[in-house]
Structure 1
Amino acid sequence: MTAPHDLSSPTDDAAVGLNVILVDDDNNVLGTAPKLSVHTDATPLHRAFSCHVRNSDGLWLMSRRAITKLTWPGVWTNAFCGHPDLGEDPTDAIVRHGRAELGIDVDASALRLALPEFRYRAVDDSGVVENEICPVWLLDADLAPSPRADEVAAFDWVGTEALDRIVDDAPFLISPWAVLQWRQLRTLGLTR
């Protein structure tokens, strides 16, 4: 299932959202590759981001990935994740993905970078690997998601205590990155 990766020049003008930024262990750009072909059993390290959203009632937005997603289809995870485009400001990427996936308008000025160095590698049941340098952002906002069906199958607002129980007692119920991120956010006191 391993496929070669087209390492285009970092100066190529990639179409928005169609490529991932390939990086080395120090997060230096190596080039870009098509998002749809890069996720295999040998996914190269690439940039991503993850956004956790909490409303004024203290509930966290969780989304269930669409069943048609290549990686972790149908799995519950944090509000949303994505990949920035080459040269794109991370907050602009978050705003773009929030609108495209959940139909929400993210206020970029309200985003807080919580885990700037977060990195993980995980393998799903089909053998597809996620291998990302994935800074984690927090957003406190009251939003009314209207998700795209090809991105998000469902969403719910979940309390901190319930998420603590899931992460501690049944981590298989949510994505591995959401588990790892929640544990680190909790350790830093950012989930209360």
Structure 2
Amino acid sequence: MTSDELVVLVDDDGHAIGTAPKASVHGQETPLHLAFSSYVFDRDGRVLLTRRAAHKVTWPGVLTNSCCGHPLPGEPLDHAVGRRLSYELGLPPAPADLILPTFAYRAVMANGVVEHELCPVYRVTVDGPAVPNPEEVGETLWMPWEEFAGAVLRGELVISPWCAEQVALLVKLGPDPMDWAPAPESDLPPAARVAS
């Protein structure tokens, strides 16, 4: 990934209002921008968790969901999911199912750095092992979804703030992640409705 990678800035209604260099948007005045979160599962229903690399600007060293990232301008979100899963975790292409199309959050670190993202959530099912890229991922851990979700809801795991909010919404969709019904692409915010 290049240091001048652009992210898509959005308004409160999810419309694109411009772009900005990724390196410039994560600070104390972070503008709302388009992103995604993904939850990777294996055929046994285990979720792949990652620990963010220690040099990350936001929530370094913190346990979180499988992969997060930003679509490039004009890039369909499901393509961005696949691109980042390959780059961060060495995973082969697999369908990305849209699960939470309008998730958004704002979180502030103790040092004042803000994350502020319109962040649709995807489910991906894989057969192969993850090969983490140390530039992005400190370590990986597979955990049964029920065990992970229960620990999150009980406050027993220190995880990223967006992951905590997402898990609370995902468990409402049912106990088995394989049974979650994908949302239609038309439910995505306008800025994310990019033709494949």
Classify the TM-score, shorter chain: 0.7 to 0.9
Matched, 1:176 2:191: no
How far off its partner does 1:92 sit? 1.2
- Paired with 2:102 and 2:161, the residues of 1 have a C-alpha distance of 17
- Paired with 2:4 and 2:36, the residues of 1 have a C-alpha distance of 13
- Paired with 1:29 and 1:139, the residues of 2 have a C-alpha distance of 26
Match of 2:33 in 1: 46
How far off its partner does 1:143 sit? 2.6
Kindly indicate whether the alpha-carbon contact (under 8 Å) linking 1:123 and 1:129 is maintained by their aligned counterparts in 2. Answer: yes
Q: After superposition, what is the alpha-carbon deviation per residue over 1:113-133, rounded to whole angstroms, capped at 9, x for unaligned?
A: 000010111112221111111
How far off its partner does 1:162 sit? 2.0
- Paired with 1:120 and 1:98, the residues of 2 have a C-alpha distance of 22
Matched, 1:102 2:86: no
How far off its partner does 1:161 sit? 2.7
Q: 2:51 aligns with which of 53, 64, 72?
A: 64
Match of 1:123 in 2: 108
Q: How does 1:9-48 map to 2 (within 5 A)?
A: 18-48=5-35
- Paired with 1:141 and 1:55, the residues of 2 have a C-alpha distance of 5
How far off its partner does 1:43 sit? 0.4
- Paired with 2:55 and 2:128, the residues of 1 have a C-alpha distance of 25
Q: 1:157 aligns with which of 142, 145, 168?
A: 142
How far off its partner does 1:99 sit? 0.9
Kindly indicate whether the alpha-carbon contact (under 8 Å) linking 1:77 and 1:174 is maintained by their aligned counterparts in 2. Answer: yes
Flag structure 1 segments of 5+ consecutive residues without an equivalent: 1-14
Match of 2:174 in 1: 189
- Paired with 1:20 and 1:104, the residues of 2 have a C-alpha distance of 23
Q: CA RMSD of the aligned region, Å? A: 1.7
Looking at both structures, which has the greater relative contact order when contacts are Cα pairs under 8 Å and sequence separation is at least 6?
2
Which 10-residue stretch deviates more, 122-131 or 59-68?
122-131
Q: 1:89 aligns with which of 76, 93, 99?
A: 76
Tell me which amino acid in the other structure corresponds to 2:160: S
Distance change (3 Å), C-alpha of 1:171 and 1:18: farther
- Paired with 1:17 and 1:141, the residues of 2 have a C-alpha distance of 31
Flag structure 2 segments of 5+ consecutive residues without an equivalent: 178-196
Kindly indicate whether the alpha-carbon contact (under 8 Å) linking 1:185 and 1:191 is maintained by their aligned counterparts in 2. Answer: no
* Secondary structure of 1:163 counterpart: helix
Match of 1:55 in 2: 42
State the TM-score, normalized to the length of structure 1.
Answer: 0.86
